[in-house]
Structure 1
Amino acid sequence: MIPLYKPFMPETPLVNEILQSGSLTYGKYGREFESMLTGYFSTNNVIVTNTFNMAILVALTTLDIKFGDTVIVSPMACLASTQPLVSVGIKIQWADVDPQTGTLCPDSVRNLMHLGPKAIIHNHYCGHLGHIDAINSIGKEFGVPIIDDGIEAFGSEYRGLKLGNLGSDVTVFSFNPVRIPNTLDGGAIIFRDSVLFEKSKLIRDAGIDRKLFRDSIGEISADCDIKLVAHSATPMELNTYIGTQQMDNVDRLIEKQRKNAVIWDEKLNNNADINPIITADVFPNYWVYGALAKNKAETIKQFREAGFYASGVHINNNIYSVFNSKINLKGVNEFMNHFVALPCGWWFDNKLK
């Protein structure tokens, strides 16, 4: 059966050399990977972290979001996107989603702004970008930062620009094994504001200013004060080296997925029971091919019988007790009842039959 996800791993000839080098923490390859990402997104403010969990926490800490603060979040997200918030005592306020896309409903977000949220996290469900302009406009109107959650949306585009350069204050990406690119584990953060970017580099590294941390004989200097609550989130050289090798393949892999999506479009063109997710001016990375089926369970069964591992992917997070917010949301319910993901990855050649 053709799988829904599959890790990609390029040739990595220098792995053993790095492991034996004695230089395993953030260094040459970490900086090179960040430089490659900077070029890819056409932005100067990119940092890489050791995990996606840390990418979210570093972003939140940089924005000075603390225990007890409220953040507006979509229930239609991977748990990897939502659990980090409750781990530091942030209060999650679920917003409803557009049942046609699974992404934040602007009207629902606007109706929650009276709660005084410290941020809005805009998850782009399964690589399908949401209502970019509307959500960003709400953030600007109320002076609330927008965090684009691109956990599954690396390379997805809106009006010819990649997510990460679409006007939000912060964008986070995941590099775990089933993402493109993957670094075994890792994440990245893009800041629109250069001051926040500089602050984030301290927060990623336990609050340490490495230029001042050691004295003239290499001892830790008492003159280097630690002023920020921070994290230990710098990536390992092995992971970022893999990231550099991945970046040489990213465009090719995403192009293959988009070609597979065109074939799905043609296959499903006359199928009245299943409709592709389409958002104006959006060019997804097609991490999966998202569609809405009249009968979700039957559609999943039919595609699996045909050799394609169809799935609903995520479940709506507002059902979980850990978030202490089991709110009933109409758009979420409708989307969950119909969303089906089909394999669309680089690992197979989709063909018309």
Structure 2
Amino acid sequence: MSQRPEGYRIPLFRIRADEEVRRAIEKVLGSGRYVLGEETEAFEREFASYIGVRRAVATSSGTSALFLILKALGIGPGDEVVVPAFTFIASVTPVLMVGARPRFVDVDYETMTLDPEAVRRAVGERTKAIIAVHLFGHPADMSPILEVAEERGIYVIEDAAEAHGAKYRGRRVGSIGHAAFFSFYPTKNVTVLGDGGMVATNDEELAERVALLRHHGQVARDDYRMLGYNMKMSEIHAAIGRVELRRLDGRNEHRRRLARIYGEEIGDLLEIPVEKPWAYHVYHIYQVKLEERDRLRGYLAERGIETGVYYSRPVNVHGAIPPEYRGLRFPVAEELTRRVLALPMSHNHTEEEIAEVCSEIKRFFGVRG
């Protein structure tokens, strides 16, 4: 079974569920246990081992994972959290949900992740945490961010929702900060074919608080010790996640092969994604930059090739963000919103499809061959 947007012969993402996934689902259906059972416990252990942390706690989504981290750390009204101005809105909304104030900063043009110098300037007396987003599969530059955090005694939370398996200086993202969160949305490098998330940390106490908060603060049957929420993962989603996790490294290598084809074929025509010497990029999204973004997007659509724009505006200007932030200016983020274009990329795309996309882009630029 696969999912393909109608009208596109080469979709932006391609999502499939095969027989191994179906068997994992059937096993859960036959077990009679659908929440907080053996599959969830196994997925948490296996994910923690893969990332290289002591604990992982499965949640209902990446958004809920960040919300639970913030609550477990005691971050709330009067506190500030440093966030990038160029990211998905769910990197920011949980900060508002706990009553804290986002402190928006600009990003590095090449990596599209936090600008460490902008972070240093933004940290103040009320800053309690920095959310370092590993955007599109490329890690943020963690060393200078950690340096600022250590100097000021604040938390670093890794947003690894788009970076499953990515590495920073040889370490898997999600194992570097005080805590991290992942998303398993259908398009991600690891998916549960629905919504799902994971908190990763070496802090046992933090993990325990997150585990309590995700399930109403329950410590035992009919024993609730804190005001909690209903943000747990289902057994079916955990079972799918276990299958997908086993395949992650091979699938990331496939994405990297597709990225190399793009680089070799169209690297002279537009700005292709960078991979810094200290990074291992997993290309959740293959994002290029060019002035003629909208023209190229229309040209490819006419030829049955789907593209995307991530993102069309800085996050601080969305209507969901309080008006006081909308007048802030972030030159790099604003420039990126005018130039970025996501090309087809997934572990289910073929090398032949990517070569065809490249051929059409060459024709757009008037290049033969």
- TM-score w.r.t. the length of structure 2 is 0.85
CA contact (8 A) 1:9 1:246 kept: no
SS at match of 1:233: coil
Q: Is 1:119 matched up with 2:116?
A: no
Q: Note if 1:80 corresponds to 2:90.
A: yes
Retained in 2: the 8 A contact 1:74–1:97? yes
Give the corresponding residue for 1:194.
Answer: 204
Return the alpha-carbon distance in structure 1 between the equivalents of residues 16 and 96 of structure 2: 31
Output the amino acid matched with 1:350. E
Could you tell me which residue of structure 1 aligns to residue 341 of structure 2?
340
Identity of aligned residues (%): 25
Which among 89, 98, 101 is matched to residue 108 of structure 2?
98
Establish whether residue 296 from structure 1 lines up as the match of residue 293 from structure 2: yes
Q: What corresponds to 2:362 in structure 1?
A: none
Residues 280-309 of structure 1: CA deviation (Å, up to 9, x unaligned): 321111112122223322333344455542
Partner residue, 2:309: 312
Cα displacement string for residues 131-176 of structure 1 (whole angstroms, at most 9, x for unaligned residues): 11111211111111011101111111122221112x2111110011
Aligned partner of 1:61 among 67, 71, 76: 71
Please report how far the alpha carbon of residue 320 of structure 1 lies from its aligned counterpart in structure 2 after TM superposition: 1.2
Q: How has the CA–CA distance of structure 1 residues 282 and 306 changed in structure 2, closer, same or farther, with 3 Å as cutoff?
A: farther
Aligned to 1:217: none
When structure 1 is superposed on structure 2, of 231-240 and 291-300 the one drifting more is 291-300
Cα distance in 2, alignment partners of residues 136 and 317 from structure 1: 24
Aligned to 1:279: 276
Distance apart, 1:194 and its partner CA: 2.4
Contact 1:70–1:119 (CA<8 Å) still a contact in 2?
yes
Alignment match of 1:176 (pick from 173, 181, 185): 185
Q: How far apart in 1 are the matches of 2:27 and 2:277?
A: 47
Q: Does the aligned pair in 1 maintain the 2:217–2:227 contact within 8 Å? A: yes
Say which SS state the counterpart of residue 320 (structure 2) adopts.
helix
Aligned to 1:258: 256
After superposition, give the CA deviation of every residue in 1:182-205 in whole Å (9 maximum; x if it has no partner).
112110011132222233222222
- 1:266 and 1:65 map into 2 onto residues whose CA distance is 46
CA distance in 1, matches of 2:271, 2:301: 15
TM norm structure 1: 0.89
1:46 to 47, 56, 62: 56
Q: Secondary structure at the match of 1:310?
A: coil
Measured in 2, the distance between the counterparts of 1:86 and 1:7 equals: 32
Indicate the residue corresponding to 2:245 in structure 1.
247
Query: Retained in 2: the 8 A contact 1:73–1:120?
Result: yes
* Distance in 1, Cα, partners of 2:214 & 2:84: 25
Give 1:6's aligned residue: 14
Does the 8 A contact of 2:15 with 2:348 survive in 1? no
Query: Are the equivalent residues in 1 in contact too, given 2:14–2:349 (CA < 8 A)?
Result: no
Any unmatched runs of 5+ in structure 1?
Answer: 215-219
Q: Please state how far the C-alpha of 1:238 moved relative to its aligned partner.
A: 1.0
CA contact (8 A) 1:100 1:335 kept: no
| Residues 311, 340 of structure 2: 8 Å contact kept | no
| Secondary structure at the counterpart of residue 276 of structure 1 | coil
Structure 2 counterpart of 1:297, which letter?
D
Which residue number in structure 2 is paired with residue 31 of structure 1? 41
CA separation in 2, counterparts of 1:204 and 1:176? 18
One-letter amino acid of the structure 2 residue matched with residue 292 of structure 1 = K
How far, CA to CA, are the matches of 2:224 and 2:218 in structure 1?
A: 8
CA distance in 2, matches of 1:175, 1:193: 22
- In structure 2, runs of 5+ residues without a counterpart are 1-8, 360-369
AA of the residue aligned to 2:339: H
The code of the aligned residue for 2:177 comes to S
Deviation at 1:225, TM superposition (A): 5.8
Inter-partner Cα distance in structure 2 for 1:14 and 1:98 = 41
In the alignment, the residues of structure 1 paired with residue 275 and residue 307 of structure 2 have an alpha-carbon distance, to the nearest angstrom, of 18
> Would the aligned equivalents of 2:161 and 2:181 in 1 still touch at CA under 8 Å?
yes
RMSD: 2.0
